[in-house]
Amino acid sequence: DGGITQSPKYLFRKEGQNVTLSCEQNLNHDAMYWYRQDPGQGLRLIYYSQIVNDFQKGDIAEGYSVSREKKESFPLTVTSAQKNPTAFYLCASGGQGQDTQYFGPGTRLTVL
Amino acid sequence: QKEVEQNSGPLSVPEGAIASLNCTYSDRVSQSFFWYRQYSGKSPELIMSIYSNGDKEDGRFTAQLNKASQYVSLLIRDSQPSDSATYLCAVRGRSGGYQKVTFGTGTKLQVIP
């Protein structure tokens, strides 16, 4: 089955800890994206990558880091520098030059 | 002014009626427009994309685009209770060399049986 997977589905973090959210796709898409969704707000772009070994900051990159060592994988690390990390995190992918983004199932992160 | 604006709702329609969801955008050079459906606690699912002025139909869904008015809408005919969800409008413009997608905050639709 082709698609985008994210893990874990739920994640609990203590203050001061770094956590890494996984995103994997087997759609052969070049571009991958990380968004954050908070209640009453639209999706906000954290980071994006249009090609392997290259990524760019989005609108709210502070406190987050990413890597893109493989085409299929785009993990997101939420660092202790992120002031309010509790949110629903969505990974998406899309083909190079294509408009459409397809989303994974999401990871809900809660800071205890 | 928000880049992509939607009425948050809820929009309540009776089962079998037409639901009309609206979205306005501020960037005149926007090129691509999308509607996503998001059930509570789930991720967004693409319903429709539209690129040129006019209507685009797919089953019970019709997307309408008017670039002069910077307005895009989604009509859902014969609304079903299973259509109850939040509908996100997304607009792709251009930011430097990257075509950024901006999402609205969504309109919550409730279809009453």
Q: What integer best gives the mean pLDDT of chain A?
A: 92
CB A102 within 8 A of CB B46: yes
For A64, the 3-state DSSP assignment is: strand
Report the residue of A27, A37, A60 to disrupt the B interface, i.e. the one with the largest count of B CBs within 10 Å.
A37
Helix extents (H) in B19-95: none
What integer pLDDT is reported at residue B95 of this predicted model? Answer: 59
Q: Which residues of A touch B88 (CB under 8 A)?
A: 42-43
Per-residue pLDDT tens for A17-69? 999 999 999 999 999 999 999 987 889 999 999 899 999 999 999 999 999 99
The whole-number average pLDDT for the span A88-93 is: 97
Token pair for B40:
């509570």
Q: How far is Cα of residue B20 from the mean position of the Cα atoms in its chain?
A: 9
The residue of B30, B101, B102, B107 whose CB has the most chain A CBs within 10 angstroms, and thus the best one to mutate to test that interface, is B101
CA–CA separation, A32 and A5 (whole Å): 12
The CA-atom distances, in angstroms, between A77 and each of A34, A65, A67, B46 are 11, 5, 9, 26
pLDDT above 80 (res A96) = no
Nearest CA-CA partner of A45 in A29, A24, A31, A26: A31
Q: Looking at the predicted structure, is the pLDDT value of residue B96 above 70?
A: no
Separation CA A56–CA A74 (nearest Å): 12
Give which of A3, A71, A103, A47 is closest to B90, Cα–Cα. Answer: A103
Asked if the model's pLDDT at residue B22 lies above 60, the reply is yes
Which of B42, B100, B105 minimises the CB distance to A41?
B105
**Cα separation of B34 and A61, whole Å?**
24
**Does residue B31 carry a pLDDT above 90?**
no
Give residue A2's pLDDT: 66
Residue A91 vs residue A15, higher pLDDT = A91
Amino acid at A38: D
Distance from CA of B47 to the nearest CA of A (A): 11
Q: Is the pLDDT confidence value at A97 over 90?
A: no
Q: Strand A10-13 relative to strand B107-112: parallel, antiparallel, unpaired?
A: unpaired
| Chain A nearest-CA residue for B98 | A50
